[in-house]
Amino acid sequence: MKKMIPALVAAAGLMAGAAWADQGTTAASFLKLATGPRAIAMGGSFAGLADDVNALNYNASGLAYLNDKEITLMHAIWFQDIYYDNGAVAWPIHNIGTLGLNVLYLNAGTFDGYTLDASGNPQSTGTFGASDMALGLAFARQVIPNISAGLLVKYISETIDGTSDGGVAVDISGLYHTPLPGLSLGANIQNLGPAIGFNNTYSLPINFRLGVGYKPMKNVAVDMDYTQPIETAGVLSIGGEYGYRDFFYVRGGYQYQGAIDYNQTYVGYGPSVAAGLSLGLGFKLYQHYLLDFAYVPFGFLGNTYRFSFTYKFE
């Protein structure tokens, strides 16, 4: 595990020198879907905090600091008739580390199929479906005091009209709890692996993420992440949460990618309303059960919603 820290630094250097590909030119783009309504509501900024089971998809090294076992299930209502689901488990093992298991499934809905006849006219072939799935296994532990490392290995599968293709990818992450109480720094390189595809192969959506988290008190947390995808400009996100009596949580966040995306704005509400914003709520019941909700608008594309149920136990 100690070898992960220099590997993380080396990979970061490679990312900094890599030329960006064009938007939409990577395979398995579903791997970029956000999970965990708590993190999503905070603008998708979570690498610096990484303090619950959803760290699996932001910074798996944060699992090393969990004391309780956690199980979470999330359902996302996406655009049109598209939806995706996520399930994750974090299981601390005393004096060894924390194991994590993560499953992400995307159902892209049904589509009308066509073929061309001898005259070049389209002929209907009925409907077909498309789906994607990723199964991940993680391990995290403290390598030296206040520093943890994590490794997440994923099996990826994409299916369209009954034809499937798959591959393997890894995430390498680290988390540092600084001497300043409540301040932590995180880094994660995601989706490292060989190219995959059906007829032609394409690079995986490699992503480099840096985060700064701060918890000045028990029920207040803020985080700022910078993410650099291989194919687009980087994204700066910031978010936070406030918990009232450790029962009711209010969250908000914002993402910025160098310019306002006017496709995410609403006519009549000013040039930037809703572009990049996210909101959410959380409820903690009987100290063991958590209900979380996130709302993210995408302008004319519509609004998206995520719901999750989490159970914590010793």
Task: Please state the domain extents for the chain.
Answer: 4-17+38-313
Q: What is the pLDDT of residues 232-249, one digit of tens each?
A: 889 999 999 999 998 999
Q: Mention every residue, 6+ apart, whose C-beta is less than 8 A from residue 102.
A: 56, 57, 86, 87, 88, 89, 134, 135, 136, 137, 138, 152, 154
Hey, what are 218's tokens? Answer: 């028990």
User: What distance separates the 2 farthest-apart alpha carbons in the chain?
Assistant: 73
When pLDDT is averaged across residues 282-288 and rounded to a whole number, the result is: 93
The span from the CA of 238 to the CA of 260, in Å, is: 15
The span from the CA of 156 to the CA of 305, in Å, is: 24
Q: Are strands 97-116 and 163-177 parallel, antiparallel or unpaired?
A: unpaired
When pLDDT is averaged across residues 195-218 and rounded to a whole number, the result is: 90
Neighbour-count burial of 229, counting CB atoms closer than 10 A to its CB (0-12 exposed, 13-18 middle, 19+ buried):
buried
pTM of the shown model: 0.86
Residue 89 has pLDDT above 70, yes or no: yes
Band of residue 159 on the pLDDT scale cut at 50, 70, 90: confident
Residue 287 has pLDDT above 60, yes or no: yes
- pLDDT, residue 171, reads 98
Which segment of 90-99, 122-131, 253-262, 298-307 scores lowest on mean pLDDT?
253-262
Q: What is the pLDDT of residues 110-127, one digit of tens each?
A: 777 778 777 777 877 777
Q: Which of 117, 127, 114 is nearest to 161 (CA)?
A: 127
When pLDDT is averaged across residues 185-201 and rounded to a whole number, the result is: 90
- pLDDT, residue 109, reads 77
- pLDDT, residue 121, reads 79
Q: Are 38 and 215 in contact (CB under 8 A)?
A: no
CATH number of the domain located at residue range(s) 4-17+38-313 in this protein? 2.40.160.60
